[in-house]
Structure 1
């Protein structure tokens, strides 16, 4: 069976374990071999747990005794390196941190371990997750497996690249303005940003008012399975929502068609930003797909998106400034683009910050009213597909135009594969729900995935492996 194990979803691995056709040790070994083969080219990982095989052996023993801890027992899951995993350093992709191992797991990692998942490695991100591409002075450039001359997006770019080529069946990422959804769109994977507080997270740090933790997977059902686990309560997060014992995987099949669901679609969200034709057409195709399946679909724009982006452009630099003020050297070791954000943040007054927070609440109320008319919004994730590394604009010009509003308002949102361009690059579209409508967004994402199909990720991995075999290093 060999490396083909790397191309399976978490749910498929679970079925193999149940049948005794493969063991967690087989899978963990195959994943590590694939990392050894592909990661020198992609640079998606920054740390691997020395006890990964030992954890797999413990899971294997539980399966042999028919006493698995849960539906993720034995499934390797990578963790973005701004989330604490005990025994591994939490470097935040930054030279401004040290390599001391974490003493405790973050809430989501603790929940995953409780059900037997193997949290086996840390994935790359830009310095403190501050931008929507993935490179840093600490770990270098992470590349897109669809085209190594392109970015996988950021800040969860390492997580997305790893999942896309089977170097991890699933990953945990974070999203402060689009950092799960943009990499998912650029790599043909599925990324879900839950409602703010749905997944407990600690410590939250300077970006705590905007940051969300969520799954990045090869299919929607895997994300639903993981979300069911990581939403379990943890008192370390004061912002966490009251726990709801929802099985998100069961929700996916609760309604077979979207008949009667009210959907607003918009290729631009009313912004003065024109998406490329491939992105525009993907949004239109998704809207038509839902219409053909019986949904009530019409063009419309949620109110206040431009103002949300202005608020994001105020709060994000202020968060960066707060980060650097806590450093003994004032952030001298940081990526210059993060330092530049911090410099902008230094000039933002307390009155401007308070005004932005007040206005955010006012816009949120207006958007709540919008979601009384509609159940979902379909729109772009980013104005274009994965960009060439050599043609990337300055970091401050890389703005999350279509995703930041969901962070400002705490809304659940997903990036769903919606086809490929003529150049063979994946296109993702965004599905957004009203406050706390996580289950509805996952369900709609599943409906679209069934209609469109999943990205050909196994073929992508084989193609990349063949290419690397001919040219071992980039």
Structure 2
């Protein structure tokens, strides 16, 4: 029975809880056992505290027994990326430079909203130091591996959260995304990941990566992603960028067909080299959207690669995160992070403002593009997972991670919602993801389309062999 529990979505668990057919304690215990059994092979968690998790599960069980449930996720285990403040656990962001005690007794908006809705925190998941790159390894915890092949990378920076969902260690997980950090591990690990519109999900403290940074859900199904968004979008006054709450029920908006929806299908944005297996899988997905009634047109959005501008903005953020750290603390850090931050620290104000200008032009172009097309369909990534412990694949012509994730970072610059949904496997059996991008604040439509696709071509019965 415990194995069946690990395969259940949050939606299914809640149905069983309400019918008093399952206990949050049994579910939490099963997932803690799965972490204990498998995590030594993938290193998805940097902190697990069974006593705290089980105590909260017991409190949830009592609420169900007394018909006094709390919010939308009562009793559902959630894996929390170790960049989100949790009152009972330290948050060190994979760094030896953070005083763990200074982070206690504080909650990020996401964890505060989850707590109000009765979640069971199952543990903290791994991240590269300060979430700075698209793979997951750091000086404190080491390397996080892919659940489908532990010799490969999980992606990053929310790699631990991707691993946790794929292996049934938690049905829901929190991630952050400033250049692809939810969508990259979602694609590499074969799970669903949403980078919401900037401002849709409150996030605090303010990220050193500025408006590039988004917080969002990672799940096994789009349905669970929508459920989690109903919680994460709750208001929090501490995020001064957050938009006024609109009361959208993302779960209720999943229904209905896609007839009349205009989807722009861009297999390479006009300039990306894409692995043939991925190109084929995403082309097949485009045909599925046609079958579902959408009007799918092959067209590129018409912008050039904004890599240089993104680099100024992102690595400027890394330099910002380290601005108060002296040489002693820097000596304890990922040396590649120190290197990119020091390089970015030499940018002039006009270099940075030029990148901001390019970002604003890109936002305007995409706003105009979405006057003609409801959604943009692309691959999430142009390649599948490569060797673990590396920032780039072997023999890659560049040294930095953004060069292999050209489909993700443009939409951090624009602040649009981007959803990664599994759409197949390559010849090595590694997951492939498609990406759906919508106009800013049209997250509900992105989720609706992703759900329709997943209902038509579900891969949700296929778990990694490591799962057991």
Q: Taking structure 1 as the reference length, what is the TM-score of the superposition?
A: 0.94
Q: CA deviation at 1:465?
A: 5.2
After superposition, residues 128-167 of structure 1 pair within 5 angstroms as: 128-167=130-169
Whole-Å Cα distance in 1 between the matches of residues 238 and 42 of structure 2? Answer: 35
Aligned partner of residue 332 in structure 2, secondary structure: coil
- 1:386 and 2:385 matched: yes
The answer on whether the counterparts of 2:380 and 2:408 sit within 8 Å (CA) in structure 1 is yes
Counterpart residue number, 2:287: 288
The answer on whether the counterparts of 2:199 and 2:243 sit within 8 Å (CA) in structure 1 is yes
After superposition, residues 213-292 of structure 1 pair within 5 angstroms as: 213-253=215-255, 255=256, 257-271=257-271, 273-292=272-291
Whole-Å Cα distance in 1 between the matches of residues 40 and 456 of structure 2? Answer: 35
Counterpart residue number, 1:442: 447
Whole-Å Cα distance in 1 between the matches of residues 259 and 42 of structure 2? Answer: 42
Counterpart residue number, 2:112: 110
Whole-Å Cα distance in 2 between the matches of residues 31 and 305 of structure 1? Answer: 45
Counterpart residue number, 1:41: 41
Q: CA deviation at 1:204?
A: 1.6
Provide, for residues 196-229 of structure 1, a one-character-per-residue CA deviation record: whole Å limited to 9, x for no partner.
Answer: 0100000023113211000000100111011011
Counterpart residue number, 1:402: 407
- 1:418 and 2:423 matched: yes
Q: CA deviation at 1:362?
A: 2.0
Q: CA deviation at 1:456?
A: 3.4
Provide, for residues 239-270 of structure 1, a one-character-per-residue CA deviation record: whole Å limited to 9, x for no partner.
Answer: 001111111000001x2x21110010111111
Whole-Å Cα distance in 2 between the matches of residues 451 and 333 of structure 1? Answer: 49
Aligned partner of residue 77 in structure 1, secondary structure: strand
Aligned partner of residue 355 in structure 2, secondary structure: helix
The answer on whether the counterparts of 2:72 and 2:231 sit within 8 Å (CA) in structure 1 is no
Provide, for residues 156-184 of structure 1, a one-character-per-residue CA deviation record: whole Å limited to 9, x for no partner.
Answer: 00000010010111101000010000100
The answer on whether the counterparts of 2:207 and 2:213 sit within 8 Å (CA) in structure 1 is no
After superposition, residues 296-307 of structure 1 pair within 5 angstroms as: 296-307=295-306
Counterpart residue number, 1:470: none
Q: Which runs of 5+ in 1 are unaligned?
A: 467-474
Whole-Å Cα distance in 2 between the matches of residues 161 and 67 of structure 1? Answer: 33
Whole-Å Cα distance in 2 between the matches of residues 142 and 326 of structure 1? Answer: 28
The answer on whether the counterparts of 1:81 and 1:124 sit within 8 Å (CA) in structure 2 is yes
Whole-Å Cα distance in 2 between the matches of residues 417 and 295 of structure 1? Answer: 19
The answer on whether the counterparts of 1:194 and 1:214 sit within 8 Å (CA) in structure 2 is yes
Aligned partner of residue 389 in structure 1, secondary structure: coil
Provide, for residues 80-119 of structure 1, a one-character-per-residue CA deviation record: whole Å limited to 9, x for no partner.
Answer: 0011011211111112223214221100110111010112
Q: CA deviation at 1:415?
A: 0.4
Q: CA deviation at 1:397?
A: 4.6
- 1:28 and 2:28 matched: yes
Counterpart residue number, 1:324: 322
Whole-Å Cα distance in 2 between the matches of residues 57 and 395 of structure 1? Answer: 48
Whole-Å Cα distance in 2 between the matches of residues 176 and 363 of structure 1? Answer: 16
Q: CA deviation at 1:6?
A: 1.4
Whole-Å Cα distance in 1 between the matches of residues 388 and 240 of structure 2? Answer: 39
The one of 184, 187, 199 equivalent to 2:186 is 184
Counterpart residue number, 2:362: 363
- Change beyond 3 A, Cα 1:379–1:332: same
The answer on whether the counterparts of 1:131 and 1:395 sit within 8 Å (CA) in structure 2 is no
Whole-Å Cα distance in 2 between the matches of residues 290 and 302 of structure 1? Answer: 19
- Change beyond 3 A, Cα 1:54–1:305: farther
Counterpart residue number, 2:98: 97
Counterpart residue number, 2:2: 2
Whole-Å Cα distance in 2 between the matches of residues 325 and 183 of structure 1? Answer: 28
Counterpart residue number, 2:197: 195
